[in-house]
Structure formats: structure tokens, C-alpha cells
Structure 1
Amino acid sequence: MTDREPARTTTRVPGEADGAVPDGTTVFDDGVPAVANLDPALLAALRRAATDAGVEFRVNGGWRSPDYQRRLRRSAVSRHGSEEEAARWVATPETSPHVSGNAVDVGPAEAQAWLSEHGAAYGLCQIYRNEPWHYELRPEAVEHGCPPRYPDPTHDPRMRR
């Protein structure tokens, strides 16, 4: 590069090390950081549920690095047109339970349906009505059932930090 050439910036695409999930990843794929970096209790509950369900539980989103979460948020703002609308779908790195390894996005629809019906027995609860794929561990749900779901993340007090 000479003094006359413009500086080139490279935008690194998030990879598996950042929490990007390869297609077909299941809750049993320990070699994938998005799975391996989940909270151990959450991962154990997911694996027990998946084993009992007889339905493949794929991970569409799990642990994420703060940088990857930041990228997802920026993309959501671009797609939805505002910070306010993006907040209904993607949290900031400071508030996202994915960054701490405390949330998992599960697919396919059969796994979501099974968890919706049976997840509380494992402490696995759907947190948001607009995200049927998003589950978090609530151990008290085993005895008391899952808490009421928030309409979307903007109603969750944890997202207001």
C-alpha cells in the first residue's frame, strides 16, 4: 500500500469461535463453542430433555461472544429500522443471556413443540412469547411450572440495564 492508496478495512465474519452455529448442530456437539460454552446446568437439562424426547434438538443459537452479539444487534437495527424494534428480537451484549451462556435457541419446530409441552419438567422455560425457540433454565419450574412469558424482550426487566 502506498500513501496514495486508501486504507482497506477488513470486516471479520464471526465464526464458530464467536458462537456462530454450523447447520445441524445438536445439543450433544461438544466441539462447537456455542454448545460447549453454555451454562453446564442448562446444557445438562437440554441433554436430558433431548434424550427423553426422542426428537433431535438442534442448536440454532447458544453461547455468543459480546462482539458477535453486537453484530447481531446492529443487523437487527438495520433489518427492523430502529433500536426500539430491534430490541424486541435481539438484546445488547450487556444484557443478552446468550453472552453469559444462559440461553439457547432450539429447533426444529418438533423440538420446540416438545419443549413447550414438557420443558418445565427439566427446568427449561420459554421466556418470550414472540420467540418460541428461546429457552432458559429455571430450576424452580420443575416443581412450580414455568413463569409467565414476557410478550417480548422489551418487557423483561433484565433487558433494561
Structure 2
Amino acid sequence: MLSSERIRVLGKADGAVPEPVPVFDDATPAVANLDPALLGALRAAAADAAADGVRIFVNGGWRSPEYQEQLLRRAVSKYGSPEEAARWVATPGTSAHVSGDAVDIGRAEARAWLSKHGARYGLCQIYRNEPWHYELRPEAVEQGCPPMYADPSHDPRMWR
């Protein structure tokens, strides 16, 4: 590497969430940059969950393409191949996190609450292997959440 080259450190501004944050945290880009409809549904759910004594925290939300690429590279290293990594991490071009259309929910009690009540708000778990990953499916309010994919590698949106 040339001495004039710099490695860009990716952090909170790129969507990293080092510590879980409340869904009402507008100062955290991972929350503030979520799609407004998703964020509205999430906040409505969080208000109702709080009435049940459950606090909903975000472990991940919007991510920059650079941060998503970094997560993908780490997953390839961890799982040994791009095919195995695809079961856990999408490419920047296909990730619902990069578009602000996905949120990862922290704390087991919040995930359990959303699993039971999320469809009322259009919030659905999308992947069976990722109980923390939720996306907005407005039709779920009337029809219930759609069947889950086994993992992201089974999601046709990832085949672009």
C-alpha cells in the first residue's frame, strides 16, 4: 500500500450499530435512514410493545454499500465461500439494509413480541435462519406475513 493511501474506517455514519439503540434514536444513521414507512411501523410497534413492558432495540438497520461489502467479506472469510456467506449476508446491490428496507431487532423478548404481533404493523420476519431480521410487508396487516425463506440464498431478490 502506498503511504498516501488511506483505509477508510467504517463506523456509525455507515450504519454500524456498536451498541443496540432504541427505535426512536434519530441521531443514529442506521435508524434515521430507514425507509420512512418501515420506521413508522417499527415505532408504532415499539410504542405498543412498551405498553406490554417490552423495549425494542435496533442492532442493525440502514447500511452504506461500503459497510455491507465489509460485512460480506467478513462472512466469506468466516464461512469459507461466497455461497455459504450468502446464507447470512447479501451483496450491497441486493441488501434490503442498504436500501433502508430492513431492520435487525435486538433482545430476545423484543423479537418474540414482534414474532407474535408484528404482522399487525406489517412487520415480518423474512428469513427462518435470522429471527432478528424484519422487513415491512404492508399486506401482512390484512393477510398475515408471507412464508419465510429458509435463508437469504433462497430469496429471489438476492439472485440479481
TM-score grouping bracket, smaller chain normalisation = over 0.9
Instruction: Provide the residue aligned with 2:71 in structure 1.
Output: 72
Q: What is the deviation of 1:21? A: 1.1
> Residue 131 in 1 paired to residue 130 in 2?
yes
Give distance in 2, aligned partners of 1:121 and 1:32: 26
Structure 2 residue runs of 5 or longer lacking an equivalent are: none
Equivalent residue in structure 1 for 2:34, among 27, 31, 38 = 38
Give distance in 2, aligned partners of 1:17 and 1:107: 20
Instruction: Provide the residue aligned with 1:26 in structure 2.
Output: 22
Q: What is the deviation of 1:90? A: 0.2
**Matching residue's letter, 1:148:** P
Instruction: Please state whether the residue corresponding to 2:73 is helix, strand or coil.
Output: helix
> Residue 89 in 1 paired to residue 88 in 2?
yes
> Residue 120 in 1 paired to residue 119 in 2?
yes
**Matching residue's letter, 2:2:** A
Instruction: Provide the residue aligned with 1:12 in structure 2.
Output: 8
The root-mean-square deviation of aligned C-alpha atoms, in Å, is 1.0
Give distance in 2, aligned partners of 1:95 and 1:121: 27
**Matching residue's letter, 1:23:** E
Report Cα offsets for 1:57-98 as digits up to 9, x if no partner.
111110000000000000000000000000000000000000
* 8 A contact 2:16–2:30 mirrored in 1: yes
Instruction: Please state whether the residue corresponding to 2:13 is helix, strand or coil.
Output: helix
* 8 A contact 2:20–2:106 mirrored in 1: no
Q: What is the deviation of 1:24? A: 3.2
Structure 1 residue runs of 5 or longer lacking an equivalent are: 1-5
Largest Rg, 1 or 2: 1
Q: What is the total number of aligned residue pairs between the two structures?
A: 156
- Relative to the length of structure 2, the TM-score reads 0.94
